[in-house]
């Protein structure tokens, strides 16, 4: 058995060096974190004097052209679940006062695949990157799994490295698509109505958040319209029947409660050339859909 | 446990503290702590396979000691073969059983015979190829009287399972590592700082270079049917840097962590992409495995002593076995064979030892001839890596076929091309560091001579880059081998 003396001075030297190396680094990162936290907590959304606000996911992002409105803004983001739309609307209403709100509402909007967006690696990181300034993850029901490790990593990455002046990545815009290829209908329906190869049902949590959005619009005296943008006939016919029934029942219940719904999701009257892919319209399709929506709203007296 | 994980970031300081502050006065306690912490490190992945390591340690410890006392050559030979067959038997079962079975069935089907056999759902124990070769080298060295067998079981167990290099090397020789477990270890500031620098460099290679390249290499290889020739070539280049950053990064971290505990491991990579020919490349790539095959396969087979035919046979033998060591897939065998083909002209013309020293030593830049030689060697290795990365031979051949098309001269196109440009920029930065550090043991070693502000500026820069890219956590490629 050997015995030997411990070289304390050498160890002390290392620790001092390490501490002196880490202090400036920690100070730098902490300063950025504090600055950015303060910045995004107090950042107001400046959309200007708008009348119409368009919220939803990529379907409405490509389908409703705000430039055909008098004074509208499209803030849709791809892959946005209604939970996020609610947080976003709340944030926007703190500083902007639109008259009307249009919310994307298609069969996949109420699919419970949306609940996995906060835990599945495919979506979580991207969604956290966009929503960290407006999120209220702790308030979501325990039934929704949330990958908090991934969230805090994203939060750190977005805020620790340099001071940012703008954090509003949760605000999207209208995207003009010019090409047309509808061949991905099977891939898309599998993504929207199946999770890990199992058929998913409707998401009660999403419906609860839809209720919250309706309440919020009532509270701020806003006219809310749910919009179902056209889906390619192959996509639409590939939606599982049980899900389609759920969707129609939900729609009927909402209409009974007085919610205005314009549903063009059975896009059989839209030719292939109007689609960007099986569930998104291209620019030509968007112009036609927007015009149709405007005509309907005018006929209903909701729009001048 | 991954080196670039939070688990390891907690594990390492605990072991370090216990090792130097609690067990400081007792070598046996320190070795016991190394064994225990190594078992925890390994068991973190799957504790069931710990029994394989323990069995292997017991077997070779016992055989080593029997070889010492046994004077009859025939019995010594039986003991040696018993160790070789048992160790390779485990490796063969876990790694190659299904491969042989599938090929066996295919061969029968070729002759119109149908046989029904069930393949097993076998989990490959992480690092089995590495520690098997390490224990084998011990027994063979004892058999050849190159090494005295150890009577200290704790030291031997620590040698077999030493956690920094347990799962992905470097494959240590008992002659180098085992004696370090008998000697008292004194904490040295300079050694620890050097270790930290090497860990930093290893993390940079893994997190910033390899993991970024992996994003694009995976995207291109997984969708190769839809990509043009130039994109496919770029995908192969990304994979070349992915595998280099991944594996050499792991080795750097392993060597750096070992230095923390007072151990010196062998250098495993020496800027291989600056090699001027394939022979030089193989002296600089995975040095611990290449030298293992040289000492325990090539030389026993006769090495370069016989005629030309023997040299060719032995060269093919080590390259094919080396390929097969990497995995149970014909793609690895072809990868090994292709490297043997690259090597052959150098061997036949006796030019395989032309480039022994470091390229452009003492010069700031290489000459035009050296640059062309390096580019030629790199291009050859890029093509060989396609076989290494491809799912199967069909994929590899179609990938290469699609590269050699008119679209090779078009602009690469794939999703995320803008991010790929940033990664290419990082690769260039990495190569600049590697070039300046090519005469040192690792890429960042040369900055120890820099003035403090520049040195610290570089450290901060690398730390920030590592933190920035640390969200794309990929497993080390060599874990699967």
| Dihedral angle computed from the Cα positions of residues A94, A95, A97 and A98, in that order, rounded to the nearest 10 degrees | -100
Q: How far is B409 from chain A (nearest CA, A)?
A: 26
Residue B127 has a pLDDT of 83
Asked whether the beta carbons of residue A21 and residue B456 sit closer than 8 angstroms, the reply is yes
Given an 8 Å threshold on Cβ–Cβ distance, is A161 in contact with B460? no
- Of A187, A232, A226, the closest CA to residue A210 belongs to A226
**In this complex, do B186 and A13 lie within 8 Å of one another by their Cβ atoms?**
no
Annotated active-site residue B326? The verdict is: yes
> In chain B, which residues have pLDDT < 70?
114-122, 124, 472-481
Q: Distance between CA B61 and CA B139 in Å, rounded?
A: 8
Closest chain A residue to B465, measured at CA: A161
Interface of B with A (CB under 8 A): 20-21, 24-28, 184, 186-189, 192-193, 456, 459-460, 463-464, 467-468, 470-471
| DSSP character at residue B26 | -
CA distances from B407 to B226, B235, B311, B421 (A): 12, 14, 40, 20
Residues forming a β-bridge with A225: A102, A260
Testing the interface with A: which of B23, B459, B467, B472 to mutate, by most A Cβ within 10 A? B467
Asked if the model's pLDDT at residue A3 lies above 50, the reply is: no
Distance from CA of A130 to the nearest CA of B (A): 16
User: Using the beta-carbon criterion (under 8 Å), do B188 and A25 form an inter-chain contact?
Assistant: no
* Cβ contact, residue pair A161, B467, below 8 Å: yes
Residue A5 has pLDDT above 60, yes or no: no
| Per-residue pLDDT, B348 | 84
A194: helix, strand or coil: strand
Q: Which chain A residue shows the shortest CA-CA distance from B469?
A: A157
Nearest Cβ partner of B189 from A14, A24, A153? A14
Q: Does A33 touch chain B (CB under 8 A)?
A: no
Whether B463 sits inside 8 A of A2 (CB atoms) is no
pLDDT of residue A4: 47
A160 and B CB contact within 8 Å: yes
Distances (CA, A) of A54 to A91, A210, A215, B106, B239: 14, 15, 17, 60, 43
pLDDT score for B121: 67
- Chain B CB contacts of A156 under 8 Å are 467
Contact (Cβ atoms closer than 8 angstroms) between residue A209 and residue A87? no
**A231 and A266 in contact (C-beta within 8 Å)?**
yes
The answer to whether ipTM exceeds 0.90 is no
CB nearest to B471's CB, from A2, A153, A160: A153
Provide the pLDDT for residue B478: 58
CB contact under 8 A, B470 and A14: no
Q: Which residues in chain A are contacts of B462 at CB distance < 8 A?
A: none
Tell me the count of A-B CB pairs closer than 8 A: 50
Q: Worst-scoring range by mean pLDDT, A9-18, A182-191, B118-127, B177-186?
A: B118-127
Between residues A6 and A166, which one has the greater pLDDT?
A166
Rg of the Cα atoms in chain A: 24
């Amino acid at each position: 058995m050997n015995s030997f003396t411990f070289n304390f001075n050498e160890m002390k030297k290392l620790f001092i060096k390490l501490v002196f190396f880490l202090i400036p680094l920690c100070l730098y990162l902490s300063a950025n974190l504090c600055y950015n936290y303060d910045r995004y907590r107090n950042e107001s959304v400046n959309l200007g004097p708008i009348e119409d606000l368009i919220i939803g996911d990529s379907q409405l992002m490509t389908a409703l052209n705000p430039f055909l409105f008098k004074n509208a803004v499209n803030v849709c983001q791809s892959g946005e679940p209604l939970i996020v739309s609610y947080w976003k609307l709340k944030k926007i209403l703190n500083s902007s006062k639109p008259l009307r709100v249009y919310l994307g509402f298609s069969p996949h909007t109420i699919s419970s695949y949306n609940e996995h967006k906060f835990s599945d690696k495919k979506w979580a990181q991207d969604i956290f990157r966009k929503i960290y300034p407006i999120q209220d993850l702790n308030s979501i029901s325990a039934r929704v799994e949330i990958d908090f490790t991934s969230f805090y990593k994203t939060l750190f990455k977005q805020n620790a490295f340099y001071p940012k002046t703008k954090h509003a990545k949760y605000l999207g815009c209208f995207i003009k698509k010019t090409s047309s290829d509808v061949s991905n209908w099977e891939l898309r329906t599998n993504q929207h109505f199946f999770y890990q190869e199992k058929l998913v049902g409707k998401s009660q949590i999403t419906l609860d958040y839809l209720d919250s959005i309706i309440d919020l619009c009532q509270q701020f005296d806003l006219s809310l319209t749910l919009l179902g943008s056209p889906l390619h006939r192959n996509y639409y016919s590939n939606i599982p029947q049980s899900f389609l029934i759920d969707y129609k029942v939900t729609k009927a219940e909402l209409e009974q409660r007085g919610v205005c719904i314009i549903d063009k999701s059975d896009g059989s009257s839209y030719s292939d050339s109007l689609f960007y892919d099986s569930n998104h319209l291209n620019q030509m399709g968007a112009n036609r859909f927007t015009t149709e929506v405007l005509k309907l709203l005018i006929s209903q007296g909701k729009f001048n | 446990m991954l080196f670039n994980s939070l688990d390891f970031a907690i594990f390492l300081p605990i072991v370090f503290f216990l090792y130097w502050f609690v067990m400081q006065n007792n070598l046996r306690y320190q070795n016991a702590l190394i064994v225990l912490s190594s078992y925890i490190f390994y068991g973190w992945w799957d504790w069931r396979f710990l029994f394989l390591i323990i069995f292997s340690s017991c077997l070779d410890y016992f055989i080593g000691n029997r070889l010492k006392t046994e004077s009859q050559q025939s019995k010594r030979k039986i003991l040696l073969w018993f160790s070789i067959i048992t160790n390779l038997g485990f490796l063969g079962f876990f790694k190659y059983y299904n491969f042989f079975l599938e090929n066996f069935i295919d061969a029968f089907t070729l002759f119109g015979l149908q046989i029904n056999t069930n393949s097993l759902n076998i989990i490959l124990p992480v690092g089995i190829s590495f520690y098997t070769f390490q224990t084998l080298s011990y027994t063979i060295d004892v058999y050849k009287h190159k090494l005295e067998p150890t009577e200290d079981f704790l030291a031997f167990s620590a040698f077999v399972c030493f956690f920094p290099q347990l799962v992905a090397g470097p494959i240590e020789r008992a002659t180098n590592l085992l004696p370090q477990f008998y000697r008292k270890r004194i904490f040295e500031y300079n050694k620890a700082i050097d270790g930290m620098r090497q860990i930093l460099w290893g993390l940079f290679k893994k997190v910033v270079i390899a993991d970024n390249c992996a994003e694009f290499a995976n995207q291109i290889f997984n969708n190769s049917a839809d990509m043009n020739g130039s994109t496919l070539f770029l995908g192969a280049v990304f994979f070349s840097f992915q595998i280099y950053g991944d594996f050499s990064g792991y080795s750097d971290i392993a060597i750096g962590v070992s230095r923390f505990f007072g151990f010196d491991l062998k250098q495993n990579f020496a800027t291989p992409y600056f090699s001027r020919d394939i022979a030089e490349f193989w002296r600089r790539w995975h040095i611990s495995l290449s030298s293992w095959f040289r000492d325990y396969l090539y030389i026993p087979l006769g090495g370069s002593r016989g005629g030309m035919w023997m040299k060719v046979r032995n060269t093919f033998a080590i390259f094919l076995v080396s390929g097969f060591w990497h995995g149970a897939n014909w793609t690895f065998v072809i990868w090994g064979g292709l490297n043997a083909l690259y090597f052959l002209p150098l061997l036949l013309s006796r030019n395989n030892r032309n480039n022994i020293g470091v390229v452009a030593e003492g010069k700031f830049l290489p000459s035009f001839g050296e640059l062309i030689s390096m580019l030629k060697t790199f291009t050859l290795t890029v093509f060989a890596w396609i076989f290494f990365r491809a799912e199967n031979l069909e994929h590899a051949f179609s990938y290469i076929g699609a590269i050699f098309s008119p679209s090779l001269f078009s602009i690469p196109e794939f999703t995320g091309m803008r991010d790929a440009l940033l990664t290419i920029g990082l690769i260039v930065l990495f190569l600049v560091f590697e070039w300046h550090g090519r005469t040192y043991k690792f890429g960042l070693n040369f900055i120890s001579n820099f003035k403090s502000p520049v040195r610290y500026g570089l450290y901060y820069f690398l730390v920030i880059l590592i933190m920035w890219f640390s969200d794309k956590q990929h497993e080390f490629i060599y874990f699967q081998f």
